[in-house]
Structure 1
Amino acid sequence: MHESSGTAAAQPNEQLFERVIELEARVSELEADRERHREELHAVARENHELRSSQEQLEERVDEAETERNELRDELERAEASRGHIIDDVVDIEQQLDENQGEGMTPIERVSKMETEDTAVEMTPSIERAVAIFDHWEEWAEKTPKGRVLKDGLKSLLRTATGEGLAWRQVYRAAEALEELSKGQIRFVDHSDHGKMLIQPNPARSSDCQSSSAATS
């Protein structure tokens, strides 16, 4: 009888002990989950910080690109506005040149061949730079099947040749003056991939001219 009572009393104690063990295990699981969630929150916070920093850097780069684009657009507008002055300078040079000298030559060829001490012709800085490009044309321009092309490095090349610290608008003026003085033999054009570039197309062959004449006759 006493043994039955002792056994009955021990069972609730064992159940209570097992329950405590279960609760402790559950508490450990919850603490592990909480720690894992904390680490995940920290990771998300770090990622958000990195994303915010990347976004700020991207916005800065966009602002810089926008500023550069506006500056380049302003340079192009000023260069376009100065084109009229370039043409006036070219006309003045042509009037100063002796038409009897260098018959059949373009103005840029005649100016290039003049002696450096010849002071009969007054040249503007843009025309002097145009002559520098012309004098180095075969050296600087790349020979292609369709003619000679100068699409890269004109600013640095002209700076080296003249010893001047040139802005892009000054380079554009020189290129425009070269086009005018060469009577279009060397042209300053816009290219979809390379932007502004100088080209000198190969002269049309006689066979091409004959074919063209036959097609139009």
Structure 2
Amino acid sequence: MSKRKEPAEQFLTMKPDQTFNIQNDGFIGSLYKPQDNSFEGKALIMSGGSDGYFSLTCLIAEQFVKHGLTVMALAYWNQPGLADALEKIPVEYVERAALWFKDNNYIKIGMWGISKGSEYALISGSILQNLISCVVAVCPINICCQGIRKGKSVSLLDCSAWSFREKEIPYANLQYNKWQIIKDMLKRRSICMRSCYNNAIASAPEKAHIKIENINGPILSLSA
């Protein structure tokens, strides 16, 4: 996949202190360190939404860095070297980033995610109990969803969006109805994908529910 211009790139004001790539590090990330560290030994891994715009994740990371926190902006799809669909995305990306922090004397490692990234954050926190010490989930969902491919239209894939140790994480099927989405968007005058998830949540098998009780630390959930 070739690198394309992203809408948030023009607003970035910081250069990462270190970058990571799939070939050498097993994940794609940009590390930002504050000039005045207010949280010694603590760091945050950050994952963006289903748009796959890594520059937007970096832009949000900058805001936390300005307040004295070390942040790793983490890409998990739609970037060169990564999957071009939300399809069996490895939790190992988070694991490798967290292990890098541990190896560099960070004691407490939190994870922050928004939208699809909050699903990733909650799942990662529930699996990596010995690495992730808290989770911030912005506009989250409480289930693991099936994979999707985004292009001119959205295609539902017959697989999980996430995986761990090369095994798919059990998932719930989404309900994608283009006309219902258009109807909701016209009614609310904004993008609204709620219809895709309402039925999925209601009919999700027990094994698809994210086991947030396994997260070894506090959870902050934020929503509009």
Same fold (TM over 0.5): no
Q: Which has the larger radius of gyration?
A: 1
Higher strand share: 2
- TM-score norm. by structure 1 comes to 0.22
Greater helix share, 1 or 2?
Answer: 1
